[in-house]
């Protein structure tokens, strides 16, 4: 158990819909990272937050957005969903300068 909690574990929805994925980082971790992993693809970095502020942005689509709240949990919002958005979405947290990312178990999104 990494200490990072992601909900929901599984989600099935239709094209055009909007979903929200939630992540609770390990206690004390200020940084939250979101990754997308499609079938047979590596982990694609989406976005990072540090203590509520956006820190770095990767290949995140304009239809996707995220935020980190004062209690440090984070949400990833995916809108106007397409079939190609079906993937595992991972959240990770870290203490800066520790060098280790702790990953949650992921949220598997299926868009039909």
According to CB under 8 A, which residues from 51 to 90 bind another protein? 55-56, 58, 88, 90
Q: Output 20 or 30, the one with its CB closest to another protein.
A: 30
What are the residues facing 77 on neighbouring strands?
20, 65
Task: Answer yes or no whether residue 10 interacts with another protein by CB under 8 A.
Answer: no
Strands 10-13 vs 107-111: parallel, antiparallel or unpaired: parallel
Quickly tell me which residue has 């590596």 as its tokens.
42
User: From CA 57, how far away is CA 34, in angstroms rounded?
Assistant: 10
Q: Output 79 or 108, the one with its CB closest to another protein.
A: 108
The binding site for another protein (CB under 8 A) comprises 2, 4, 31, 33, 35, 41-45, 48, 50, 55-56, 58, 88, 90, 92, 94, 96-106, 108
């Amino acid at each position: 158990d990494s200490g990072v909690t992601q909900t929901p574990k599984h989600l099935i929805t239709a094209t055009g819909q909007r979903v929200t994925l939630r992540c609770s980082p390990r206690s004390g971790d200020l940084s939250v990272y979101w990754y997308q992993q499609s079938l047979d693809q590596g982990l694609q970095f989406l976005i990072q937050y540090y203590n509520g502020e956006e820190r770095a942005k990767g290949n995140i689509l304009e239809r996707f957005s995220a935020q980190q709240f004062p209690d440090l949990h984070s949400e990833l919002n995916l809108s106007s969903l397409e079939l190609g958005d079906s993937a595992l979405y991972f959240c990770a947290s870290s203490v800066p300068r520790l060098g280790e990312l702790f990953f949650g178990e992921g949220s598997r999104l299926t868009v039909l």
